[in-house]
Chain A
Amino acid sequence: MPVDKRKLKGKEPLPLLEVRGVQTYYYTDFGVVKAVDGVSFSVRRGEKVAIIGESGAGKSQTGMSILRLIPSPPGRIVGGEIIYEGVDLLKLPEEEMREYRGVHIGVIFQEAAQALNPVYKVGTQIADAYRVHHDCTKEEAWEKAVEMLRKVQISNPEQRAQEYPHQFSGGMRQRAIIALAMVNSPNLLIADEPTTALDVTTEAKIIKLINDLAVKEDKALIFITHDLAVAAGLCDRFLIMYAGKIVENSSAMQLFSDPKHPYAQQLLEALIDVSKSEDEIMAIPGLPPDPYNRPKGCSFHPRCRKVKAICQEVEPEMITIEGDRQVACHYYTDYQAPKLKVVSSS
């Protein structure tokens, strides 16, 4: 079905996922937290999108909103649309949503240890996830589970499938989770800090695995992380979030060579990277805003290097520049690298 639509539309394919003005609020004892505050973006097939932000920026909440897994109460999605292949997920009844989770949209969480049930064999858990959505025998599902474990490069999968999660190492557990998320071959995979708890050598392997699985099968990936360096090797589009909003939406090349939003610039400067010498690393001053009491105007203005009077009063709107590049800053033109002359807009 979606393939037909793409052909009809010609060269501009319909995005797989379109998020429009989603607002997810938490109503707490201490006030309202606008965790996701009017976020819009789209994800095309074959695209690998990174959502970057500090803790509390709303990046995980955006992912959870797409899956409609916001704990309620206290959280609630109060506005917006999430269109997946032409269907607004926010309007679906819960039973139909369940069909979308897992089958159409897979998810990998950060805590590998908690995502697997300790009392069932790893193979059983993957097979069960398959059987929920497929009409097949237990044996077929088990076969599928073993095949998935092989796909995520777990050696000796027949035997490993018989084991329990505690018998797996951290990296293997994360692989099993990827197998679990991919068993129904979802078109969209949401990975929420999947490597944060892992060692460097394991992290590199897992990133490679996610990359292979997501690219090979023309699927889309949303990769949520606070680590620009990790995402740099994987993703081709970057959404920079700050205080519940997307402040910059750029391709990887654009972002790393010429960031537009001051937060993105300062984030890149603060990144500790081997290719930088000591004096090339500049810390971002200040702290992330208090979620109960975000600054007026542009939320980033207290930490912004180029802050002006208007930033303290008026919230900047998202402006489209250079095709599909977007930035939300009053003064983004001021930061233009001198070599870039004209900003073309479509």
Chain B
Amino acid sequence: MAVDVLELQQKKHWLERLGVDLDSITGRVLLRFLRNRVAVVSACVLLVFYLIAIFAPWIAPYDPIQPHFRNRLEPPSAKFWFGTDPMGRDLFSRIVYGSRVSLTIGLVSTLVSFLFGIPMGLISGYFGGWIDEIIQRAVEFTSAIPSFFLILTLVAIWGNVVDRLWLIVFVTGIVGWVGPARMLRGQVLAVREFEFIESARAIGCSHRRIMFHHIFPNAAYVIIVQATLGTAGAILMATGLSFLGLGIQPPSPEWGALLNAGRNYMQEAPWLTIFPGLLIFITVLAFNFLGDGLRDAFDPRSEQG
């Protein structure tokens, strides 16, 4: 208990030095988040992954595409950390470059889905009435589209015309708006019932101010949680597509594609599947832990006291 209190004091101190008002909602959420070790570790892992993706050219020791047939199927060693593939390329370098593709897909498709989802959810929940009816029907319609097969079809049609990466990103994003829209709408409906909204109307706030100053910040937490889970989902979807050979085309290294390529060498070179698989696993798990941690941090009931 004593150690805990000490640690807490330390965290409070850091936050204060960073200029965070511990009294504010944000400060309390941050503090609660920092107390959740699993979530903090997950956040750090993801941060490292994204940094690796950004600085891939400086981190990867070898060229990820250029074959070196002399080093075919080398097991992991000090020279090739994760071993090499059948074309003699360093797996570590390929994974580092591959993270660029996989993580971009996750992030950008989530951004796209939020770009559509947030205004839709906000408008639908705030104004209600026939606007809400229309948006809700659109949500139901979109939810009925099996996005995985839609992408499969589109890749089959346009796969060689447009860049598959962006095709996947945009289709996942556009189909994915329903998740955040639906969740945000629900939360907006709950926040709208609070008297401070009525008070805002009584003092003469515009709809815009009520929506963006009073409702959105108090409702946004649900979609922040949704964002982490959505990103994980998009990454899984992209790797799944690549695994089926319908995603990003070789030789461009993508985690799902790497997994697919390693499949044939499971016996002689298990590292080819283990490392990409492990990374996909860690990334998705970390996103999920992060989402859980955020949800708990945003939920004042989880606060002790």
What residues of chain A lie closer than 8 Å to B304, measured between beta carbons?
Answer: 26-29, 73-74
Chain A residues near B303 (CB, 8 Å)? 28-29
Residue of A at shortest CB range from B28? A29
Tell me the B residues contacting A by CB distance below 8 Å. 1, 8, 31-32, 35, 303-305
> Which residue of the partner chain, among B1, B31, B32, B35, contacts A27 with CB atoms under 8 Å?
B1
Inside 8 A of A74's CB, which chain B residues have their CB? Answer: 304-305
Complex Cα distance A164/B31, Å? 42
Contacts known (A73-B304, A74-B304); A29 close to B35, Cβ less than 8 A: yes
Bound form: Cα–Cα A74–B301 in Å: 12
A residues 52-109 in Cβ contact with B at 8 Å: 73-74
Chain B contacts for A29, CB-based, 8 A: 8, 31-32, 35, 303-305
Give the residue name and chain of the B residue nearest to A292 (CB): B305
Q: Which residue of B lies closest to A28 (CB)?
A: B305
Q: Main secondary structure on chain B at its contact with chain A?
A: loop
Q: How far is the CB of B16 from chain A (nearest CB, A)?
A: 14
Q: Could you tell me the distance between the alpha carbons of A26 and B304 in the complex, rounded to whole angstroms?
A: 8
Cα–Cα, bound, A30→B32 (Å): 11
CA distance A29 to B1 in the complex (A): 11
A-B pairs with beta carbons under 8 Å apart, 7 shown: A27-B1, A27-B304, A27-B305, A28-B305, A29-B303, A29-B304, A29-B305
Q: Which of A26, A29, A30 has the largest count of B CB atoms less than 10 A from its CB?
A: A29
Which residues from A are CB-within-8-Å of B305? 26-30, 33, 74
For the complex formed, measure the closest distance between the CB of B39 and the CB atoms of chain A, giving whole angstroms.
Answer: 16
Residues of chain A within 8 A (CB-CB) of B32 are 29
A14 CB to nearest B CB, Å: 38
Query: Which 3 A-B pairs rank lowest in CB-CB distance, beginning with the nearest?
Result: A28-B305, A74-B304, A28-B304
A 20-32 binary contact with B (CB < 8 Å = 1; else 0): 0000001111100
Give Cα A27 to B303, complex, Å.
Answer: 11
Q: How far is the CA of A138 from the CA of B32 in the complex (A)?
A: 48
CB distance from A266 to the nearest CB of B (A): 29
Minimal Cβ-Cβ distance residue in A for B305? A28
* 9 additional contacts (CB under 8 A) given A26-B304, A29-B35, A33-B305: A26-B305, A27-B1, A27-B304, A29-B8, A29-B31, A29-B304, A29-B305, A30-B305, A74-B305
Interface centre among A28, A30, A73 (most CB of B within 10 A): A30
Interface string of A291-334 (1 = CB under 8 A from B): 00000000000000000000000000000000000000000000
CA distance A120 to B35 in the complex (A): 39
Q: What is the minimal beta-carbon distance from B7 to any residue of chain A, in angstroms?
A: 11
* Identity of the chain B residue whose Cβ is nearest the Cβ of A33 in the assembled complex: B305
Q: Find the A residue at minimum CB distance from B1.
A: A27
Residue of A nearest to B8 (CB): A29
Interface residues of A in 9-57 (CB under 8 A from B): 26-30, 33
A25 → chain B closest CB, angstroms: 11
A29 to B300, CA, bound (A): 12
| In the complex, chain B residues whose CB is within 8 Å of the CB of A26 | 304-305
Q: Shortest distance in angstroms between B9's beta carbon and chain A's nearest beta carbon?
A: 11
Chain B contacts for A28, CB-based, 8 A: 303-305
Closest chain A residue, CB of each to CB of B31: A29
Closest chain A residue to B11, Cβ basis: A29
A residues less than 8 Å from B35 (CB atoms): 29
Which residue in chain A gives the minimum CB-CB distance to B303? Answer: A29
**Complex Cα gap A74–B305 (Å):** 7
Q: In the complex, what distance in Å separates the CA atom of A30 from the CA atom of B35? A: 13
List A residues 122-153 near B (Cβ within 8 Å). Answer: none
